[in-house]
Structure 1
Amino acid sequence: MAEVVGSLDRAVARDDGPKVPAAAIPTAERPKTGLLRRIDWSKAGLLVGLAIFTIAAAALYQIFSGITWSEVNNALSRIAWGQVALAFLATALSYSALIGYDLLALRHVGARQVPLPIIAFTSFISHAFTYTLGFGVLTGGAVRWRIYQSHGVKPSLILAVGALTTLTFWLGIATVAAICLLFQPSVLAPLDGLAPGLNLAIGLAVLGGVAIWVIVSALRPRTIRVGEHAMPLPGPGATLGAILVGLLDTVAAAGALWLIMPAGPDAGFMSFLAVFAVATVLGVISHVPGGVGVFETTLILAQPQIPAADMLVSLILFRLVYYVIPFAIACLMFGGYEIRQRRQSVGRIARTIHEIARPIIPRAASIAVFIGGVILLFSSATPEEHYRIAILRGVIPLPFVEVSQLAGSISGLVLLVISYGLVRRMANAQRIAVLLLVAGAVFALFKGLDIEEAIICSIVAGLLVLYKDEFYRQADLFSVRPSFEWILACVVAIGATIWLGFFAYANVDYQHKLWWDFAYNADAPRFLRATLAMAVVAIGIAAYILMHPSRAAFDPATPEELETLVPLISDSTRSDAHLALLGDKRFLLSASGKGFTMYGVQGRSWIAMGDPVAPEDEVDAMVWRFKELVDRNGGTPVFYQVTTGHLPAYLDAGFSLAKLGEEAWVDLNKFTLEGSEGRRLRQARAKAERSGASFEIVPATEVEAILPELQAVSDAWLDEKGNKEKGFSLGFWSPDYIRRYDQAVIRQDGRIVAFANIWRGADRQEYTVDLMRYLPQGPAGMMDLLFIGLLAQAKSEGFAWFNLGMAPLSGLPRHRLASLWSRVGSFVYKRGDRFYNFEGLRAYKDKFKPDWRPKYLAFPGGLALPQILMDVTGLIASSPRRALPEEAS
C-alpha cells in the first residue's frame, strides 16, 4: 500500500474560508508557549520521513548488494505469468474496495448528489495519484476538488471528504493490522523483536480503542470544527464500514503481492497479511511517496526465509502491477476528463498546434520512418531474447518466425528508401510507409516478441495516418531522385546493420550449412538469410530505378485539345499565346475556361511559358492554380519569361524573380521610313532590293504550295548553324504549325531565300514573328529587308506594337551589390560572344529604336536557380522531340 490521501497535521483558516483540512487535534489542546510552539511540525514530519527512508534505503542496499544479475534472471524465469495476471485482478479488486472510503465520506457529510460512477472514477484517480506520487493534499486532494466541485459539492464539504477519507483509512488499516496481530502474534517477532504476547497485547489495545470509539460515537456524535465549518466525525456505521473497506482493500492488495511471490516455504496467507498490513502502516507513517523503501524493507526483514533475488523481482513486479500501471491509466483517464471539460479550448489549442506543426510534419515523419526502418534492420541483425523465444516456441510455428525475420528486414530496407518521399509530401509514400510499419510491427512480434519495436512502428504509423492530409502529392515515388545525403544515410544504415550482425555473431563458426539451419534459437542463420534478402531487394530497387527513369515531361496535349484552345488564342492580345499550338506543351485551364497556362515538365521543374493567357482579372488566380497543381505532384513551379504587368501576383505567391533579359518593342505609331529618321532603313532596304531581293506576305491559305521551299530553307539553315531544333519558348519546323500562319518571305529571282511566320495579337495590339529561317548564301541585307517589310506591313494593318523579341541577358545590373545571378549574367553577356552573339543581337535590334521591356524568371528561390536553368535549357532542347515523336525517331 502507500501513504494516504490527506494529512491531518494542522488546520488553516482564513476569513474567506479554509484551504486545507484542519488538524484532528483541536487547536486549544496544542501547547501555546515554549520551544514546541516554534517547531514547524509539518517540516519535522518530512525530516522524520527522510530519515526513515534513508535508513530503509541503507538496509535495502545491504540486503541486495550481493545479488548478481544472473540470480535476478533466474528469479524472473521462475515467475508464473499466469499468477501475474491474477495479481492484476487482485489489484482491480483493491482499487474497487477503495471506492468505499469516498462513498462513506460523501454520504457522511450529506453530499448524496454525486452518482456512484463519478465517485468510483474520482476514487480510482485520486488514490492512484496519491499512492504513486505521495503528498495526498496536493495530488489526490486536488483531484477530488476538481471533480467533486463540478458536481455541486461545496468546497468546505470537499475538504471534509478529504479529511474523513484519511480518518476512515486509518481506522480500517489499523483494525486490519490489529486483527492480524491477534491471529498471528509471532509473525512480527523477527521484525520488531517483541514477544508474541506483547504483539498480541498491542493488537488487543488497538481493537479496544476502536471499540471504545464505536460506543462513544454511538452514544454522542462528535464533531470537529475547521475554521467556521463543523465536520461530523465518523459514527459507528461509518467506522464499521471503514473497517470492512480496509479489510477488503488490504486483503486484495496483499493478495496481489502474494500471487507474485515465489513458491517456497511460508507461514500461510494470514501470516503474510499481517506483515503486509504492518508494512503498509509503516510506509504511510514514513511519509515517503508510495512507502518506497520502508515497505520493502519491512517485508524483507519479516520474511528472511525468502531468497533476496526472488523478493527483489517480486517487489518490482508488484510496484509495476499495483502502482505504475494504475497510475498510467489514471493519468489517461484524468487527461480525458480534462479534455472533455474543455472541448472548445482543447480543440482550439489542438488546431493551433496542428497549424504550427504542419510545416515540419513531412520532414519529421520522414526521419521517424527512416528511424523505424533502421530499428527493423538492427533487430534482424541482433540475437533475440531467449525467454521470449521460449514463449514463442509454444505459440508461433517456426516457419512464421523465419518468414517474419526476412520480411522484417525487407520492410526496414524499403522504409529507408521511401522515407525520402515523405519529405516531398507524396501520398503513395505515406500509404506504403503505413502498410510497412504495420507489417513491421507484426513481424517484430512474430520473430521474437519484440514488443518495443512493435510499439515504435505502431506509433509512427499512427502519426502518419493522423496527418495523412499532409501527404497529398500524386507524383510517382521514383520521379524524384533523393539527395546525396539521403543516399549516404541509407548506405550507412545498411552497412551498420551488416557490421552489427557480424559483430553480434563474431564467435559463430560460419559454414555453408548455416544457410539451411532452421530453429527457434538459430539467430545467426536467420541473420545471414535476412542479409541476403536485403541485398537482393536493394539491388532490385536500384535496378528498377535505373530502368525506370522519371519521365522528362508529361505527354503533350493532343491535336483535339489544341483545337479547343484556338478561340482563346485568337481572343488574346498577346502574340506569344500562339506558342500553345506548337504541340509540345500541356495546359491548365482557368476556372472559368476563358484562359490557360501552358507548361512543360523537365526533371522536377514544371515550367510555365510566360504569364497565364487569360483575362486580366483571372491571371492572379491562375498563378496560384498552377502552383497548387505543381505542389500536388511534388514538383518545382517555374514561370519562364514573365512580364512586369503581373509581378505582384508572383511575389504574392512566394516566388523570387531573376531577370532574363529585355524584349524590344517598336512603337508603330512612331515608326517611319520617311525623312531623316528613316534614312538608314531606306538605305538598307534599297541595298537588299539591288541584290535582287523582294519582300512579300504569303497568306496561310497559300502556304501549302510553298511548303517544300520553306522546308528546304529551314534544313539549310539548321545544317549551316549546326543546330538541332529547339522549342517551347520559340517555334520549330512543323508542317502543321507552319500551315496555320501567314508567312513573310524574301525571294531572290523568284526563289525563297528567307521566311518568317507571322503572329498577330487580338485588338491589333501586337504583331511579331516566330520561326525565322534563311539561306546562308542568300543576298546581303535580306534580314533587314524582312524586318523593314514586316514593320511596314504591321503599321499598314493598324497594329500598335511590333515585338522584335528578347535580347537574352541584356539590361542586367552590373553593380557590385547586385545579386549573384545578375553579376554572372552580366559577365556572360559581355564575355560570352564565342557561345552566342549577345551584344550583337542587342545592337541589331537597337537600330529600330525600340522600347526595352524586362522579362523575368519566377521561381521558388533559394539555391534551386542553377538546376531550374538547366531544366529550362533541357526543356527547350527536347520539346521538338516530344511534339514530333515520329520525326524524332
Structure 2
Amino acid sequence: MASPSSEPCNDAPLPLGRWAHAWQQWRPWLLGGLGLLLVLLVGTALAHLLQEVRYGQVMGAVRRTPGAWLLWSLLATAISYATLTQYDASALRYIGAKVPRGTVALTAFVAYALSNTIGLGPLSGGAVRMRLYTQAGLEPGQIARVIGFNTVAFLLGMLAFGAMGLLWGAPTIAPLLHLPAGGLQTLAVALLLGLAAFVALCHRQRVLAWRWGPQRRWHVGLRLPPAGLALAQLAISAVELTASGLALWCLLPENPLPLLSFLALYAVAISAALISHIPGGVGVFEAVMLLAAGPHLPTAQLLGALLLYRGLYYVLPLVLASGLLVAYELRPAAVAPMGRAAVRQSPRLLAALTLVAGLWLVVSGVTPFTRDAREVLVALSVPLPLIEASHFLGSVAGLGLLVVARGLLHRLDAAWWAALGLSLVAALLAWPKGIALNEAALLVTLAVLLVVSRRQFDRPSSLFAQHLEPEWLLGLAGVLLASLWILFFAYKQVAYSNHLWWQFELDGQAPRSLRALTAIALLSLALGLWQLLRPRSSTLARPTAEEMTRAAALVQAGPRAEGCYLLMGDKHLLFSPSGRSFLMYGRQGRTWVSLFGPFGERKEWPDLVWQFIELAAAHGGRPAFYQVRPAHLPLYLDCGLQAIKLGEYAQVSLPDFSLKGGKRANLRAGVNRGEREGLSFEVVPPEAVPALLPELKAISDAWLQQQQGREKGFSVGRFDPDYLRQLPVALVRQHGRLVAFANLQLTACREEASVDLMRHRPEAPAGTMDFLFAKVMLHLQAQGYQWFGLGMSPLAGMAERRRAPRWQRLGRLLYKYGDRFYRFRGLRSFKDKFEPSWEARYLATPGGLAPVFALADIAVLIGGHPDETEP
C-alpha cells in the first residue's frame, strides 16, 4: 500500500534483461549439450581403458567378492555418512542456531543420500535442508548460510585431503600426469600452507570486510568461523573422505595399493567427478580410477569393485533414506510438524530411486544374464517367448520409469500409479528375464515404498499434460548413449551381422539386447519429438466475467482481504481442477508473478502452486510468488524455490485498538484536532460509489499531480471506476466538502480488512490521513473485524547482525540510505503511529539470478506497464 507521500516506483528495465532472457532460454540446451559431450568423452576414455576387458570377467569379479569385504565396505559407508551429518552440525554452530540432534542427523542423511546420487548437492540437498530446517524454526537466510558453509567446508576438506594425498602419493600420481613428483609435492605443500594461513586468519580476524563509496559506508563482509571450528571441520572432512575411500578400498582384490597412495588417487577421482557435474559423477569417477589405479590392479577386478561401490555407497543409502522418510507415514509422530515435513520430502527420494531403478532396467536390458541364470531357466523349462518378451518389456519399463520419475517429483497421482504398475510388472519380469534377484528386490522395495507413501502423491493431473524440460530430454539421450556403449562392451566378442536381428534362441543374448535397445531408442525418439513439436499452451487471455465472479466469491468466503486485488481486473487467473481455489498472476518478460499465492480451499494449494510453476515452464518463463506469508513458505520450498525477504507487513489488532492511553496520545490529539477543523467521516456502500466518482476523480488527479506520479497497478491500487464501484469507500469531508477518501477491502468472514487506494486534496488539513485511518479502524472494530492491514513496508525489518544473509544486509543499506529512490523510512514511520504487529513478507523464486530479474519485472508490473505479448 502506498503512503500519501510515497514516490513513484522506478520501473526502468534492467539493461541486461535481453542477455538474461537469451541465457535463460538457451541455458538448458547448452548445459545439456555439454553433458552429452562429457558422456561421449568419458565413453571414449573407458573404451580405450577396457580394450582387453570382457564383461564376463567383470561380473565374475563381482560374484567372487567375499562377504567379509562387503561387510567392511558397509561399515566404512556407515562411518562416512555418520560423519557427513557433522557438516550440518558444524554449519549450525557457525550460524549460532540450535536444532535437535535427531533433526540434524535426519536432514543431513537424507540430503546427502539424495545429492550423492543425483549430484548438484547445493540444489538437491539444499532443497531438503530448506524444508526440514524451516520446520525446525530456522529462517531461509540461515538455511542458505548452512548450505553455503557445507559447500565451502567440503571444498576446503577436499583441498586438504587431496593435498595430503598428493604429498604422500606423488611418486604414484606423477607418471599419470606426466609431471615431476617433486613439483607435485611442492604444490601440495603450497596448498597446505594456504590452508594453514586460512586457519590463522580465522584465529586472528573473525570478519573480512571490503568498504567503498562515500565515507566508506558501503561494505561487504565475510565472517570467518573460529579457528577451532575450522580445524574441527577439516578433521571431519578428513575422516569422512577417508571413510568413503575405505568403502572402495575394502572391495579391492588382495595386495592392493598402499592405503595412502590409494586415497591420493581416490581424491583425484572424486575431484574430477565433482567438476564434471554429471549426476553422481557416473563414468567420470570410474574412468579416472581405472586410469590411475589400472597399472597397479587387475582392471576387471577394479571395475567390479567400482560397481559394488556404486551399489553400497550410493544406491543403498538412497533406499534407506527413502524408507526412513516413508516410515514416518506409519508413525503417530507424522502428525507433528517435523514428522509432516519429513514425510513431504519422500517424493524427492522416491523420484531419485525411480530414476535409479529405470537406469538399472535399461542397463539390464543390454547386458547378458549369467551362466547360473541360464541353467536355472533351462531347469525350469521357461518358454523362450517368455524370456524374449520379459527382456524386451523390462527395458521398455525402464524407460517408462525414467519418464515417470519427473511426475513423481511433482507429486502427480498418475505418476504414482504408473510407477507402481511399472515397478511391479518389471519385478515379475526380472525372473524369466534372467533370475535377476537384486533387480527384483530393488523394484519390490520401490513398490512397497510407493504404496506406503500414497498420500503424498495427491495431484490430480495427467502425465500427458506435462512438458519435459530440455534437461530431461538430453538426459534421456545421455542414457541411450551410455546404454549403447555398454551394449558394445558386453558383446565385443560378437561380430555384427544382419542375422542377429532375427535370431531367437536361449543363447542369442546379443540379438535380444540389440532389439531391446532399439525399442527404447525408438520410443525415446518418439517421446522427444512429441515434446518438441507439441503446440504450446494457448495465448493468455483476460479472465471472463464468470471467472471473475467465481474468484470474487472465493475471496469473500475466505479470511484474506488482500484477495480483493483481483477486482482490479489487471491479472490473469488460474483455477484448480475443482474450481474451489485459484491464484492471480501477471506476466512481465519471462517472469510469471503470482500475487499473494493461492486462495480458496487450502488442501488444493500445493497442487495449484505446482500448476503455476509448470504453466510458467511450459511458456519458457520463470515462476515467482510475490508477498508470500511466512506460514505459506513450505508450499514453495517443497517445489525447490528459495525465499528472500521483501519487507514487513503491518497489521493492527482491532479488538485491542483504542484512542485511549498514553501510547496513542498523538493519534488521539490528531483526531480531536481534525474534528475541531470540521472533519467528518463516513463509509458509503458500493452501490453509492458511482454517484461520487466525479468528485473522487478530481481528488485523485490533484493528489497525483502533487506527487508528480502516475497510476500503478498489480499489487497497488489505482483509480479505476470499475474497481472502485465494487468496494465500500471511506470518505472524509471538511464542512461538507469531500477532501479525502480510501476504498476498503473487506470479506464476509470479517477476519481481515485493509485500505488500498487512498487519496486527499493538497489543501486538506494536516493529519487528515491519520484521522481517516483512525476512524476506519474504529468503524471496522464496531463491525467485528479482527485485523486491519496497513500494507507492506519494503525492506523493513531486515536483520542488522553481522551474520545476516547478504540480501538482508543489502536491503538494510537501501533502507537506511535509499530515500532518494523511495521513502522507505517515512512509510514505516507513518504506519508505526498505529502500533501494528509486523509480519515478514517474502518473494519465492528459483535460485541463481532469478530473484534479481524477477524483482525488476515486478517493478515494471507495479509501475503499470506490463508486457502483454505472448512469450
Q: TM-score, length-normalised on structure 2?
A: 0.40
> Which has the greater radius of gyration?
1
Higher relative contact order (CA 8 A, sep 6+): 2
Q: TM-score, length-normalised on structure 1?
A: 0.40
